[in-house]
């Protein structure tokens, strides 16, 4: 089976159901032809099924999500999972499972210099900019648009502290709980009081003051979070991220209230 599983269709991998469907089709083909078909022919047939299934999708080729060594779609040489082939320099298919830190060539850590991140983001965007591929093949044009949107997504995720924190948790197989289980009662009481304070504030000045105070607290939490992640204390990181989420939601309420105050 090893050679068969090597042939992958990333598009299908993105969808569990479809992938299982494809896997079942391949298994069926494999078991029905195993005894009577020479191996090379079997592999070709398997490939044909994949190609057929993939071509039924809107795009004839799929984002590459396999972790196994890649072959450049153009020169067919084995290449690391980079954006461009090191041999022929053609833009490769997007790897949607790429680690965002690796994509932006940053160490996987919560602490990072945002100005350096922005600089790297702009460099990468200029490499894959669709304008540079307007005279190239349609495959490269599609790839440039795909890379461009993936780089955007990765940049936004790593730029915004709460997103970056949640992404790091995810890389560690965790996520923040959807309920209040990670919070202590004291914090919840405090948040309720904060909400009341916002409800009662009726002037622009009052609201802006609360907003500023919250910004200061968020700033402090981001600093603590960097230390906590550096110590690999994921438990504490989780509760800090939940707290930040609360503070951010109060800030959002303030912004909405300010907008309606200005509108009236």
Q: Which parts of this chain interact with Zn ion (CB under 5 A)? A: 72, 74-75, 85, 87-88
Instruction: Fill in the DSSP letter of residue 94.
Output: P
Nearest approach in angstroms of CB 98 to Zn ion is: 18
CB of 14 to Zn ion, least distance (A): 24
Q: Which is nearer to Zn ion, 77 or 219 (CB)?
A: 77
Q: How far is the CB of 230 from Zn ion (least distance, A)?
A: 39
Q: At residue 84, what are phi and psi to the nearest 5 degrees? A: -115, 150
Residue placing its CB nearer to Zn ion in the complex, 18 or 74: 74
85 touches 77 (CB < 8 A) = yes
Phi and psi angles of residue 66, each rounded to the nearest 5 degrees, phi first: -80, 145
In the complex with Zn ion, which residue's Cβ is closer, 137 or 259?
137
Shortest CB 136 distance to Zn ion, Å: 13
Distance, CA of 181 to CA of 190 (rounded, Å): 16
Distance CA 240, CA 185 (A): 14
58: which strand partners? none
Cβ atoms < 10 Å from Cβ of 261: 13
**Comparison of 78 and 200: residue with beta carbon closer to Zn ion:** 78
Residue whose CB is less far from Zn ion, 140 or 243: 140
Per DSSP, the three-state class of 70 is strand
User: Minimal distance in Å, beta carbon 90 to Zn ion?
Assistant: 5
**Cα 223 to Cα 226: distance, rounded to the nearest angstrom:** 5
């Amino acid at each position: 089976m090893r050679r068969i599983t090597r042939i992958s269709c990333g598009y299908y991998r993105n969808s569990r159901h479809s992938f299982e469907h494809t896997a079942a089709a391949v298994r069926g083909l494999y078991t029905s032809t195993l005894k009577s078909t020479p191996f090379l022919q079997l592999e070709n047939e398997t490939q044909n099924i994949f190609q057929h299934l993939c071509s039924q999708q809107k795009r004839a080729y799929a984002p590459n999500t396999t972790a196994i060594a890649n072959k450049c779609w153009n020169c067919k040489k084995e290449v690391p999972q980079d954006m461009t082939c090191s041999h022929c320099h053609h833009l490769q298919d997007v790897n949607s499972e790429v680690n965002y830190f690796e994509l932006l060539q940053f160490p996987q850590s919560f602490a990072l210099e945002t100005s350096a991140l922005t600089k790297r983001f702009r460099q990468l965007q200029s490499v894959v900019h669709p304008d540079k591929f307007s005279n190239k093949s349609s495959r490269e044009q599609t790839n440039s648009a795909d890379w461009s949107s993936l780089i955007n997504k990765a940049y936004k995720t790593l730029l915004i502290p709460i997103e970056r924190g949640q992404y790091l948790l995810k890389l560690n197989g965790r996520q923040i709980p959807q309920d209040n289980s990670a919070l202590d009662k004291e914090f919840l009481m405090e948040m309720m009081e904060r909400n009341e304070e916002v409800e009662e504030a009726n002037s622009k000045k009052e609201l802006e003051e609360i907003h500023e105070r919250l910004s200061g607290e968020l700033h402090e939490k981001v600093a603590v979070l960097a230390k906590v992640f550096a110590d690999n204390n994921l438990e504490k990181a989780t509760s800090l991220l939940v707290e930040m989420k609360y503070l951010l939601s109060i800030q959002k309420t303030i912004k909405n209230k300010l907008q309606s105050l200005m509108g009236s």
